[in-house]
């Protein structure tokens, strides 16, 4: 059997399940129901993917390096309910009881930890399945042994899907997002540049550095839009690009999955 690593974006799964129970007014009961539904989801996922290794990754509390670089990062997002926030350690205990290791590292978002795990697993010939609805992980899909799965839509994503969805390759996405911005995380793009224009720009030169080194190649309109935006684009790209070299301090062997479900 080919070795597989199942990486679950913990908060992405939990928050969506919790949100779906908005009609439950008793918050303690709402958390309990979310825990039950989350365990059911993990049972389905481990059965579906039959992984050799598995891990549920959580965000650390507080600010990360992205907030330090850009204080407006994620500003305006709806905060997590206090009751759910307080219960997260209980979720982790419950997951561990069901033989699923949990990972959290102070100062780091789950996204960077997940990206690092997937890339390092790929270097060892292990195929990774990232379970999350977060579009940011699609930048990793140029690697054919890294795949993404949306548990709620029951859809899998790979490099072919990226090309069909965006009209560019997965490796070009960070430069694409640097041009159009990422409203979900409050990351600015270049004013006036939308998805279609960004794709047309990237079709000629696919990095921010190359684009700005060849501005004369573009129409006067595009030159006008891009003018003065170089530094902002570099910063935005840095914010959207996932770190793949975080010193996590966990060996793949520590994530070996022994079925309980």
Please report the pLDDT score of residue 100 as a whole number.
96
What is the pTM assigned to this prediction?
0.95
Q: How many CA atoms lie within 13 A of 215 on its CB side?
A: 14
Chain mean pLDDT for the chain: 95
pLDDT above 90 (res 120): yes
pLDDT above 90 (res 61): no
CB 228 within 8 A of CB 190: no
pLDDT digits (tens, 9 = 90+) for 141-191: 999 999 999 999 999 999 999 999 999 999 999 999 999 999 999 999 999
Domain map (residue ranges) of the chain? 4-163+242-255, 167-240
pLDDT digits (tens, 9 = 90+) for 193-230: 999 999 999 999 999 999 999 999 999 999 999 999 99
pLDDT band at 261 (very low <50, low <70, confident <90, very high): low
- The answer to whether domain 167-240 has CATH 1.10.3720.10 is no
Please report the pLDDT score of residue 249 as a whole number.
94
Same fold: 4-163+242-255 with 167-240: no
pLDDT above 70 (res 3): yes
Question: Which of 238, 121, 259 has its CA nearest to residue 182?
Answer: 238
Cβ atoms within 10 Å, residue 151? 20
- The answer to whether domain 4-163+242-255 has CATH 3.40.50.1010 is yes
């Amino acid at each position: 059997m080919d070795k597989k690593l199942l990486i679950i974006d913990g908060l992405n799964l939990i928050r969506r399940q919790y949100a779906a129970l908005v009609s439950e007014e008793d918050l303690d009961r709402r958390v309990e129901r979310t825990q039950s539904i989350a365990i059911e989801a993990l049972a389905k996922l481990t059965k579906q993917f039959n992984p050799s290794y598995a891990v549920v990754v959580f965000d650390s509390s507080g600010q990360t390096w992205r907030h330090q670089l850009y204080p407006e990062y994620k500003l305006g997002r709806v905060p997590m309910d206090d009751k759910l926030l307080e219960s997260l350690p209980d979720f982790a205990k419950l997951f561990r009881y069901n033989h699923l290791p949990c990972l959290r590292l102070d100062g780091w978002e789950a996204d960077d930890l997940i990206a690092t795990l997937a890339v390092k697993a790929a270097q060892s010939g292990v195929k990774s399945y990232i379970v999350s609805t977060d579009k940011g992980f699609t930048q990793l899909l140029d690697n054919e042994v890294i795949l993404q799965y949306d548990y709620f839509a029951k859809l899998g994503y790979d490099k072919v899907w990226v090309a069909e969805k965006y009209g560019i390759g997965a490796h070009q996405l960070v430069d694409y997002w640097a041009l159009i911005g990422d409203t979900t995380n409050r990351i600015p793009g270049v004013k006036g540049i939308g998805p279609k224009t960004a794709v047309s720009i990237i079709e000629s030169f696919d990095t921010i550095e190359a684009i700005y080194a060849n501005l004369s190649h573009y129409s006067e309109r595009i030159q006008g839009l891009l003018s003065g935006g170089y530094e902002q684009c570099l910063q935005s790209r840095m914010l959207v690009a996932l770190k793949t070299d975080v010193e996590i301090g966990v060996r793949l062997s520590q994530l070996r999955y022994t079925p309980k479900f």
